[in-house]
Amino acid sequence: MVGAVRRSRNRPIYGCGRLRYTNRPYVLTNTKKEPMQKFILLRGHQGSGKSTFAQEQINVFQKQYPDAEIIHIENDLLMTDENGNYRFTVDGIEQAQRKGQAMMLNACKRAQQNPQQPMLIINSNTNQKGSACIHLMQQARKHGLLVEVYRLHNFYPNHHGVKEADVLAAYIKLNNNRLREEIHVKAMQPMNAETAALIEEMQQFSQRELDYGENQHTWVTEKYLRLGRRDFVAKITKRYPELSVLKYKRNVFYDNRFDEALREMRGLVIDNHNRIIVRPFKKQFNYSERIAKNSKYPLHLDDAQRVDAVVKINGFLGCCTYVALPPEHPSHAAAFNHQVIYSTTGSLDSDFAKMVESHCHQYEALFKAYPNHTFLFEITDASDVHIIQERLGETLIGIIEVASGRQFREDEVNNIAAAYGLQRPPMLENITFGELKALLKTVKHEGFMVFDAETKETLCKLKSPYYLVSKFFGRSNENSLGRKLDKKHVDEEYYPLVDYLREQRDTFNTLGEQEKIAFIQHYLENMIE
């Protein structure tokens, strides 16, 4: 199955979210001379046969052009060492992607500079986003290369043990992000009836409202984990391999694709039986997000409404949970039972998780007094510099019962903190929302968590202008600062700062991130006074 491509005049037919083919599939032949410089882009899910197809195309090209330069870009190859050992890490995939992008650009430049040099660039990554594919195609054409795009539909066992649900989600995602130019290669190993039925079930699930799991008081149900869109990562921990940390993907945050289950996946820890072991705060939204026109979680707060407001500490979230499972629990014999689990919003193994343990292990007696409760701390550490300078240490900001998901009221947390000598954040009780907004303009901390004064329901996060401006401008570089200095993109209360930074732009651009933050905060302090 090698060589040039001859297309059937009949085009593939799409149905039920899956591709169906006519009786005249695309046929690969070896009758046509290959162009001297070509870029081939392969699209397919894990186990679709991209690596094999890529090697076949390389063999054909080399047969016609023995002196050809071959550039094969594939993340798996870049994460495989000289001994053939493959190791997946988040940092590793990011490095591989950056290296692949550099390889692509450099190869395109060499092709343009040496038009008589036969060259084949082939990318066999799992390219799902149409925009990323189009960028690569445009880049190749800009440098004079012929472009071909193939979509593969085989269902071979994937080499790296990717879960079936993730593979099928990738297949569906590709079907929903088709490219007009892509050539669909008829599968040598098509999906079986069981796989087709599961894909159909996953597609139907994505169109229905979520079911609530009464047994665990969660939207993160067995069905959601099996059939839901793969908008989250389930990261198996090194310390306790029986546990996985669930975290929504970054694009969920940026594209505002939250649902109730994803809101819970902010460091939710489950065992191999999908039982919840650690339950952190749900994702809470900023006030500006909740009053936005297209908000999924709209909120109307009248200035007269009475609220409680807890000062936000500018650190990172640490979770501490003493696990005490009963004999009938399926994980009763697991190594993590009768242990204190220290975690963050994304890991049990990271340096931040280790910082949580170093700060909070002194309170193990408290954790054991409340088994199967997640104690939530805001951790401020000298090694983790934030926008707002805080007193170093750990501040208790919440307690959640794992089994029920009940979040303790602030007065309950206060009582427990007082009994065990824990620090708590300052709190304003029973003030109007209008009074809180007026106060917000003057404070020099991150802001507030806002609760309904009567029901104690969490309403929103309220970030201070001082914090927002410091973060907004402090994390700027010379390329991005120009847009930020356009008054169209900031509120009028920031205009004096914009004018000042325009005047000091040359100086500001020479500063490091923390120096920029200090520079801005110094000006704001003088301006407020």
- pLDDT, tens digit (0-9, with 9 covering 90-100), for 481-523: 666 677 666 545 456 777 888 888 888 888 887 788 778 777 7
The more confidently predicted of residues 484 and 8 is: 484
Q: Which residues, other chains included, contact 15 with Cβ-Cβ below 8 Å and sequence gap of 6+?
A: none
**For residues 328 and 325, what is the distance between their CA atoms, to the nearest angstrom?**
8
Strand 37-43 and strand 119-123: the pairing is parallel
**Residue 75: pLDDT band with limits 50, 70, 90:** confident
Average pLDDT, integer, range 55-76: 92
Tell me the pLDDT of the chain averaged across its residues. 84
Amino acid identity, position 43: R
Main-chain dihedrals φ then ψ at residue 415, nearest 5 degrees? -65, -45
The more confidently predicted of residues 209 and 158 is: 209
Q: Which residues, other chains included, contact 325 with Cβ-Cβ below 8 Å and sequence gap of 6+?
A: 331, 332, 334, 337, 372
**Residue 295: pLDDT band with limits 50, 70, 90:** confident
**For residues 375 and 422, what is the distance between their CA atoms, to the nearest angstrom?**
12
**For residues 442 and 180, what is the distance between their CA atoms, to the nearest angstrom?**
54
Half-sphere exposure of 178 (CA within 13 A, CB side): 16
Average pLDDT, integer, range 365-380: 97
**Residue 420: pLDDT band with limits 50, 70, 90:** very high
Task: State how far the alpha carbon of 86 is from the alpha carbons of 68, 75, 96, 132, 240, in Å.
Answer: 28, 10, 12, 25, 22
**Residue 435: pLDDT band with limits 50, 70, 90:** very high
Judge whether residue 205 has pLDDT over 70: yes
Closest to 150 in 3D by CA, of 173, 125, 172: 125
Q: Annotate 362-382 with DSSP letters as a single string.
A: GGHHHHHHSTTEEEEEEEE-T
280 and 318 Cβ atoms separated by less than 8 Å? no
Radius of gyration of the chain (CA): 27
Residue 81 CB coordination number (10 Å):
8
Judge whether residue 209 has pLDDT over 80: yes
The more confidently predicted of residues 170 and 351 is: 351
Q: What digits encode the pLDDT tens for the residues 81-108? A: 666 665 656 566 677 778 888 999 999 9
Which pLDDT does position 87 carry in this prediction? Answer: 62
Closest to 267 in 3D by CA, of 353, 151, 365: 353
Q: Which domains does the chain have, with CATH numbers?
A: 5-204 (3.40.50.300), 222-463 (3.30.470.30), 466-528 (no CATH)
Which pLDDT does position 215 carry in this prediction? Answer: 94
Structure-token pair, residue 393: 């240490």
User: What's the whole-model pTM score?
Assistant: 0.69
Structure-token pair, residue 408: 């303790």
**Residue 527: pLDDT band with limits 50, 70, 90:** low
* Residue 487 CA to its chain's centroid (Å): 31
Which pLDDT does position 496 carry in this prediction? Answer: 72
Which pLDDT does position 484 carry in this prediction? Answer: 65
